[in-house]
């Protein structure tokens, strides 16, 4: 029999979800329709094409324009997607169709999407993409999305990052079974946990592909499955080759701080520190904190020094004005600052400066632990390309001016 106290707390949680849903929906304005990923072979002059490789623990959805559902499957599924970015694209923005099929002149549009049935086919695709890069740029980046994210939204986000970063890395999307509904937090959390083995398989496949370096970027709840998969690898006796590890970036991590401390002890102090991006005004993580029994989340933690001691570089964006209502997607605003940040880190490392520095309202703790060139791994656009794109970056400004669609 359920206690009255337990019932009361569940009622409060659902009221909290209802309140949270308002700003989420207001921030997103709308979401991609069910037919958003319908293939459009039309070529538009000026559109940029990207090849996204997909590894998924989602169930396939054969409906045209959907491709993957929010339900789980036990085996990895693979896909190869050719997608274009419209000539009108603005850095940081995700131009997706909100109703009907995409218009390649104004929307990100899928040109071709095909399932791959085996690991061998996935590796063939990945090796083919790496072969197109010159020596020294044969890199890959794995993106693991967060809670409340549909497959289409995850695909659009990794495409936007691939376009804006101008990175040579082959983009690989690991997409787990999020239902893409704000009320399905518990389901999503369980889906992320169930995907640990599948992500470990994916990481090993990418590292075994011949890539010279692999970066892993996770957001929100995607950090839980990412750190768990990395912990499993650490315990397995078959560790990743350290010379191939680029950056491991944990953005707005939805992980219990105590759990993260336990996880990190398994790694010891890594040679390359995890880069943890935090913001104390993250409303989405405040919700997670609440339903977890008021246990703080890593992405909103206040003790940067403790995280540094555990082996992290902390990027604290609490002082930066967010461009999404929940303050949950601030990390995307860092992309345009990459050239300045690399220079700043190099200067800090070349002097006797302390490990804590601040620029544009962003506080960096543990900078002195960075290896030379670590931030250059999978580096976003150069200063020249930033200027060419019309994006002006002023590291002395209190806020980095870069558009960003809310990230779930």
Q: Give the chain's domain count.
A: 1
DSSP state of 133: S
Residue 323: inside a domain: yes
Using only the alpha carbons of the chain, give its radius of gyration.
Answer: 20
- What the block records as the tokens of 122 is 């996935």
Digitized pLDDT (tens) for each residue of the chain, 408 residues in all: 444 444 444 444 444 444 444 333 333 448 898 899 999 999 899 999 999 999 999 999 989 899 999 999 999 999 999 999 999 998 878 899 988 899 999 999 999 999 999 999 999 999 999 999 999 999 999 999 999 999 999 999 999 889 888 889 999 999 999 999 988 999 999 999 999 999 999 999 999 999 999 999 999 999 999 999 999 999 998 999 999 999 999 998 999 988 888 888 777 777 788 899 888 888 778 777 677 666 788 887 888 888 888 888 898 888 887 767 777 767 666 655 555 566 665 665 555 555 787 877 888 888 777 665 555 455 444 333 333 333 322 223 222 222 223 333
In a domain, 284, yes or no: yes
CB 175 within 8 A of CB 58: yes
Residue 124: left (phi > 0), alpha (psi -120 to 50), or beta?
A: alpha
Q: Is 15 exposed, middle or buried (0-12, 13-18, 19+ CB in 10 A)?
A: exposed
pTM of the model: 0.83
Residue 322's Cβ-count burial label (10 Å; 0-12, 13-18, 19+) is buried
Helix (H) or strand (E) holding 251: strand 245-251
Place of tokens 């079974």: 177
Which DSSP letter does residue 220 get? Answer: T
CATH classification at residue 94: 3.40.50
Whether residue 329 is contained in a domain is answered as yes
The answer as to whether 397 is a domain residue is no
Backbone φ and ψ for 184, nearest 5 degrees, come out as -100, 40
Domain that holds residue 346: 4-388
User: Which are the contacts of 79, defined by CB distance < 8 A and separation ≥ 6?
Assistant: 53, 54, 56, 67, 68, 113, 114, 115, 116
Token pair for 321: 């004005």
Q: Which residues of 357-369 are buried (b: 16+ CB within 10 A; e: fewer)?
A: beebebbbbbbbb
The two structure tokens encoding residue 56: 């998924």
End-to-end CA distance of the chain: 35
Mark out the alpha helices in 141-184 (DSSP H runs): 151-165
CA distances to 84, 152, 174 from 311, rounded to whole Å, are 39, 34, 25
Residue 72 resides in a domain:
yes
**Torsional sign, CA 346, 350, 356, 359:** negative
Placement of tokens 């990418």 in the chain:
206
Residue 128 located in a structural domain: yes
Angle between helices 119-131 and 196-207 (to 10 degrees): 40
List the strands of the sheet with 67-85, edge to edge.
109-116, 67-85, 48-61, 170-175, 139-144, 213-219, 245-251, 274-278, 312-316, 362-365, 356-359
DSSP reduced 3-state for 252: coil
Residue 248, sorted as left (phi over 0), alpha (psi -120 to 50) or beta, turns out to be beta
Q: How many CB atoms lie within 10 A of CB 151?
A: 27
pLDDT tens sequence across 278-333: 888 887 787 776 776 667 888 878 888 888 888 888 988 888 877 677 777 676 66
Go through the chain and tell me how many residues it has.
408
| Residue 402 belongs to some domain of the structure | no
What is the SS3 assignment for 369? Answer: helix
**Position 407 in a domain:** no
Helix, coil or strand: residue 68: strand
Q: What is the pLDDT of residues 168-201, one digit of tens each?
A: 999 999 999 999 998 899 999 999 999 999 999 9
CB 325 within 8 A of CB 26: yes
């Amino acid at each position: 029999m359920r206690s009255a106290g337990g019932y009361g707390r569940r009622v409060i949680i659902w009221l909290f979800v209802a309140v949270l849903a308002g700003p989420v929906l207001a921030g997103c304005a709308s979401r991609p329709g069910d037919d958003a990923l319908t293939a459009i072979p039309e070529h538009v002059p000026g559109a940029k094409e990207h090849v996204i490789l997909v590894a998924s623990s989602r169930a396939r959805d054969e409906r045209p324009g959907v491709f993957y559902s929010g339900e789980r499957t036990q085996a990895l599924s693979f896909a190869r997607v050719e997608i274009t970015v419209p000539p009108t694209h603005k850095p940081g923005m995700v131009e997706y169709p909100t109703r009907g099929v995409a218009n390649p002149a104004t929307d990100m549009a899928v040109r071709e999407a095909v399932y791959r049935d085996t690991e061998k086919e996935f590796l063939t695709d990945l090796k083919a993409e790496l072969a197109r890069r010159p020596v020294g740029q044969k890199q890959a980046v794995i993106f693991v999305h967060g809670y409340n994210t549909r497959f289409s939204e995850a695909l659009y986000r990794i495409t936007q990052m691939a376009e804006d970063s101008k990175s040579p890395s082959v983009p690989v999307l690991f997409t787990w079974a999020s239902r893409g509904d704000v009320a399905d937090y518990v389901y999503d959390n369980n889906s992320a946990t169930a995907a640990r083995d599948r992500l470990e398989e994916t990481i090993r496949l990418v590292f075994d592909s011949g890539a010279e370096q692999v970066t892993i970027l996770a957001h929100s709840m995607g950090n839980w499955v990412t750190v768990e998969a990395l912990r499993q690898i650490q315990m397995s006796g078959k560790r990743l080759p350290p010379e191939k590890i680029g950056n491991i970036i944990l953005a707005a991590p939805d992980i219990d701080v105590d759990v993260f401390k336990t996880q990190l002890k398994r790694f010891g102090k890594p040679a390359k520190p995890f880069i943890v991006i935090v913001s104390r005004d993250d409303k989405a993580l405040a919700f997670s904190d609440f339903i977890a029994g008021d246990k703080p989340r890593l992405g909103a933690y206040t003790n940067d020094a403790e995280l540094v001691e555990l082996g992290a570089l902390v990027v604290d964006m609490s002082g930066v004005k967010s461009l999404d209502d929940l303050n949950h997607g601030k990390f995307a605003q860092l992309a345009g600052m990459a050239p300045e940040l690399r220079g700043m880190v190099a200067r800090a490392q070349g002097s006797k400066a302390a490990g804590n520095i601040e620029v544009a309202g962003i506080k960096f703790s543990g900078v002195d632990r960075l290896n030379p060139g670590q931030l250059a791994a999978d580096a976003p656009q150069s200063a020249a390309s930033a200027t060419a794109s019309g994006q002006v970056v002023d590291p002395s400004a209190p806020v980095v001016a870069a558009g960003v669609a809310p990230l779930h």
